[in-house]
Amino acid sequence: MEVNFYETVDDKLLKFAVIISRYKDKWVYCKHKERDTYEIPGGHREENEDIVTTAKRELYEETGALDFELEPICAYSVTGKNRVNETGEETYGMLFFADIKTFDKELHSEMEYISFFDEMPQNLTYPLIQPLLMEEYLRRKNKVAKVITVCGSYKFKKEMLEITEKLTLDGNCVLTPIELSKSDKEAYTEKEIMIIDKMHKEKIRLSDAIYVVNVGGYIGKSTKSEIEYAKSLNKEILYLEG
């Protein structure tokens, strides 16, 4: 799965609208009637429909939002087969942000209910796509200096959190891969671990640099793999040694 972002694309290419939404300082996510996962509001553009109209319609249908402020963020594309793209060809959409003030009492769509979160939920319908849309929105909103992925062994979790805080205070957008311990891996299926691995690589691909936490000269196998992947993409590589 590959996700790219654009300032503009031909309007005719835009097939989807995705609306990152907030309500009273909470992120708004939808739960489909036929799924046990959460998703950011959004959907297909109808024939001869303006893409802004698509965003407004989908936001109301999937969340019941009545009064809201809508802001276009950027265009994006997804290449690879997924739930809404059986061919895997590159498809384009428009990313929006909505600040919701009020909701209708009932939903009028395939969504069962909406939920409010302080952070992005783990069980997502589109785990390889929507986290990247959220990260791009946050990067643009905060006008960060750099996008940096922190890499390192799970045993250096404390040091990774410390450098994440420092880099964030310096104005960077910091992405921290999910580090799995042995007990964690036993709780995940092989397919889920593969998805997490793809998410790691996608974060590195979208970053300006990676920051390797290298305490005592130790670099684990998975971290070495991340370094090699970053090198193949000509990413800047920084090291925290101690």
Q: In percent, how much of the chain has pLDDT > 70?
A: 88
Does 11 share its domain with 126?
A: yes
Rounded Cα–Cα distance for residues 140 and 158 (Å): 28
**Position 95 confidence tier, pLDDT thresholds 50, 70, 90:** very high
Does 137 share its domain with 180?
A: no
pLDDT digits (tens, 9 = 90+) for 157-185: 788 888 888 888 777 778 876 555 555 55
CATH number at residue 31: 3.90.79.10
Does 123 share its domain with 229?
A: no
CA-to-CA separations, 4 to 91, 133, 203, in angstroms, rounded = 10, 9, 12
Closest C-alpha among 228, 208, 232 to residue 219: 228
Number of domains in the chain: 2
Q: State which of 142, 162, 187 marks the end of a domain.
A: 142
Q: What does the DSSP 8-state code read for residue 32?
A: E
**Which structural domain range is residue 192 located in?**
147-241
Q: Is 105 left (phi over 0), alpha (psi -120 to 50) or beta?
A: alpha
Sign, CA dihedral 83-85-53-128, equals: positive
Helix residue ranges per DSSP H, the chain: 51-63, 130-142, 157-169, 182-187, 190-206, 221-232
pLDDT at 165: 82
Q: What is the pTM of this model?
A: 0.63
